[in-house]
Structures are given as C-alpha cells and as structure tokens.
Amino acid sequence: MHTRLIANFFIALEAILSNIIRSLLTGLGIIFGVAAVIAMLAIGNGAQQEILEQIKLVGVNNIVITPIVEQVEEELDEQSFAIREPQFSPGLTLQDSRSMVEIIPGIERVSPEIIMETFLIKGGTRRSAKLVGVDSTYFDMTSFQFASGSNFSHGQLERGDPVCVIGRNIQTRFFSQENPIGKRIKCGPHWLKIIGVLEQRLISDQSMQNLGIRDYNMDVYTPINTMLIRYKNRSRLTSAIIQRANRNNRNNQEEEPSVPVNYHQLDRLVIQVAETDQLASTAEIMARMLERRHYGVVDYEITIPELLLKQQQRTKRIFNIVLGAIAAISLLVGGIGIMNIMLASVMERIKEIGLRLAIGAEQRDIVLQFLFEAMLISVSGGLVGIFLGWVLAIIVSEVADIPTIVSIFSILLSFGVAASVGLIFGITPARRAAEQDPIASLRYE
C-alpha cells in the first residue's frame, strides 16, 4: 500500500515538473490568495495589538475627568431672553476626588493629576519638561514599572516633600554616567530629590495623538501636595489672581476680549472602577455629583477610554473579517482554477490514463495520481504564498507605518486552507480521469 502511494506521488510530481509553466499558472490563484490572507491577518493582528497597548496606557476600567475652562462670560436666560451672569464653580478639585471615594461605591482607586510646563537644570544642561503632581496610586493605575528606586511613601505624600520620580529619558539625558537615585535635579525654581526611575515605555505617535497622551519618558513626577505647596495651587486666592481679575474686568468694560483663566485645581482626574460593566453607570453618577458640587456649571468632561478603545477594537475586528473574507475569495477562485485546469488536463492525457489502466493500474491509482497533482500545486502555491504574504506585511509596515504581526495561527490557517482547496477541488477531475474506459482512451485522438 505504501509503495503504491509513493509510486503515484512520484508519477504526479513528474507530471507537474514536465508542465512547470502550466502548473505555475494554475497555482497563481492559491499563491495570491494565501498571500492576501497572511497580509490581511497580519494587519489585523497589528491593529489589535496596538489597541491593547493603548488600553494599557490609559489603564483598565478607568474613567477620565478633564476640566473645561469656561470661555463664555455671559449666558442667555431662555425664559426672559435676558443676559444673566454665569454661576460660580470652584472647578475640579482634590475634594471632588475625595468625595467620589467616600460616596460612590465600586471605586477602587482615584488618581488626581496636576501638570505644569517647566524646565530641568542639571550640570549646565537645561531642557523643557513636564512636572506632574500625582499620588502613589498613579503608577499602579497606569501599569508603570520602576527600573530603580521606589514609589512615593505615605509620609512624602502627606508632607509634600521635595522628591520626584523621573522618566527613563530624563535619566539618559541628565544622568547617563551615574545612578540618579538620591541625586537632585532642579525643576523650575525648586530642587527635587530623585527617589525612583521608571521603565522605558514605548509610545507611538498615533497613540499619543489618538489618546491625547504625552511622552511619559520625559516627565518628572512629584507628590501632588508638593505641587500644590511648592509650585501652584489654582484654587488658592492670591494677589496676582485678584490683579488679573481686575484687568479682565477693565477689559470687559472696554469691550476687549479677555483671555480665559484656568481656575481648576486639577488638570486630570482618573478613577478606576472595580467592574467593567459598572463603568457607564458610575460615570453617570459622577456627572450628577460634579454638577451639584460645581453649582450647575458643566466645566468638566467625562470620558471612558476603555469603552471607546473596545468599540474601536470591535470596528477594526469587523473590518478585518471583511478583508479576510475578500482575501479568502482569492483562495476559492484559485481552487476553481485548479479544478478547471485539472479537468482540461484529463482531456489532454486520456491516452496516458488509458495506458496506465491497460497495464494494470486500478481506478484508485488514477484518482490518487490526480489528487496528488492538485494537492502538490496547492501546497507549493501555499508555501510561496506564505513567503509572499510575509514580505507584503513587512512592506505595508514600512511604507504605510502600520503595525503588522504575522502569527503562527495565520500561517497554519492559510496553509491548511490551501491544502484543503487542493483536495476538495481535485476530487472531481480525479474521478473523471478514473472513470475513463481504457480501450476508448487508447483509441482517443
């Protein structure tokens, strides 16, 4: 049995090699079909991976609240059509975050942020950077890992100590030849002691643009109380604020447009919810609570990045399925091409079939020969298509700047489909060849 199979296999291989051009043209449909499937799945895998990385950047089950600086100084009363003064709002404050933890159930952690543009000075080197006031939960919520050093302690947070955690690029630029832990760096007007260095985090330009995030590797993080005590606290009334308000009032009287002033104490508030299905309901409760605390002034915006990203992920998944289906049609067309060429080959090789049957070959030998031919064409076309698809994925990644990932699953899937196509579409020509009458075949002209 094994000898017969091997003999039929080599007969099929010899028939293919003797008509190499026809065999190559027959396999073109399989080659391009497999290449298209590999390339489409690689683009889809790259898109999925990018979205997963974006979810890691914004954190899991997070709700983000960002302040809106009111730019409309006067409002129109809908009933009396008279201009009325806008209501006062204290803005987004630390007390808002504390109230959420105390009142709303299901909240695991809250991370308030204050961001300030500043400059860093060390050893004669000066560079602009962002100083970010956070608490210790920030690094856990954003999945940051420490390359060296440690997180802020409870005492450092409460006292507002002049300490900081720096991004990896800050270490590379200012402390390339030394360990920065325990050293000091000047951030704006104050010197801060470095207690930790974060691991490098690679962020694509597209992620920064889509998610509105910054390059974390160039940030300096300090306790939020340190930021409020030593740098800026917009909720505190100062003489400079009073003078600026007087100038704005004079500008209004002179009918000159005034520049809106950011009165919010916080620049960002991230809330982590315990369960994903509670995100929407928790966000709605937060909106109502903030509206009451801000006296009806909606000077904040609530977004749920994970839900937005998952919706984007679902949209891309559907798009990839459509692209994969279109690519799979090429495999179907390639299979039909194999069947047509093999049927034509049966008509061309009737005498060869009759001769094999006359000298003792059985019908199953003829079936095996033509099945082997169809499968050899489809399998070899599949192998070439895998290589071509891998090359196409690399070209798309380089030219279009789209991340692509060629997975083992996509290779096995496309190769399995190619082999199945050869088997399925080779059955009909094989049976047609085996049903030939040997006497009539030998007389065929």
Dump pLDDT digits (tens) for 210-219. Answer: 555 567 788 9
423-438 mean pLDDT: 68
Going by the DSSP 8-state scheme, the letter that residue 278 receives in this structure is G
Identify whether the C-beta of residue 218 lies closer than 8 Å to the C-beta of residue 170. yes
Count of beta carbons in the 10 Å neighbourhood of residue 95: 12
178: amino acid identity, one letter: E
Which residues are within 8 A (CB) of 57 and not within 5 positions of it... i.e. 6 or more apart? 142, 201, 203, 207, 211, 213
pLDDT at res. 312: 62
Beta bridge partners of 127: 120
The H or E element spanning position 419 is: helix 408-434
SS3 230: helix
The pair phi, psi for residue 218, each rounded to 5°, is: -110, 15
- Segment 237-241 shows an average pLDDT of 58
- Cα dihedral value 417, 420, 422, 428, nearest 10: -140
Q: For residues 339 and 213, give the distance between their C-alpha atoms in angstroms, rounded to a whole number.
A: 55
Q: Using the predicted structure, report yes or no on whether residue 151 has a pLDDT greater than 60.
A: yes
Sequence-separated (6 or more) residues with CB below 8 Å from residue 184 = 191, 192, 193, 194
Q: The pTM is what? A: 0.59
> Do the beta carbons of residue 404 and residue 42 sit within 8 Å?
yes
User: Coil, helix or strand for 274?
Assistant: coil
Q: Which of 195-199, 241-245, 263-267, 414-418 has the lowest mean pLDDT?
A: 241-245
Percent of the residues in the chain that have a pLDDT greater than 90, as a whole number: 10
pLDDT given at position 76: 47
- When pLDDT is cut at 50, 70 and 90, the band that residue 380 belongs to is confident
What is the pLDDT averaged over residues 410-421?
Answer: 79
Query: Would you state the pLDDT for residue 268?
Result: 87
List the chain domain ranges: 2-54+310-443, 62-304
Number of residues in the chain = 445
Q: Give Cα separations from 110 to 97, 140, 145, 177, 300 (angstroms).
A: 7, 11, 19, 37, 16
Continuous H helices in 224-304: 224-226, 239-253, 279-293
Q: What are phi and psi of 190, to 5 degrees?
A: -120, 150
Provide the pLDDT confidence category of residue 375 given band limits of 50, 70 and 90: confident
User: pLDDT-derived band of residue 430, with 50, 70 and 90 as boundaries?
Assistant: low
Query: Backbone phi, then psi, for 62, in 5-degree steps?
Result: -100, 145
Angle at 208 between CA 394 and CA 95, to 5 degrees: 150
Contact present, 27 and 334 (Cβ < 8 Å): yes
Residue 263 CA: distances (Å) to CA of 267, 270, 434:
10, 19, 87
> What is the C-alpha separation between 109 and 141, in angstroms, rounded?
8
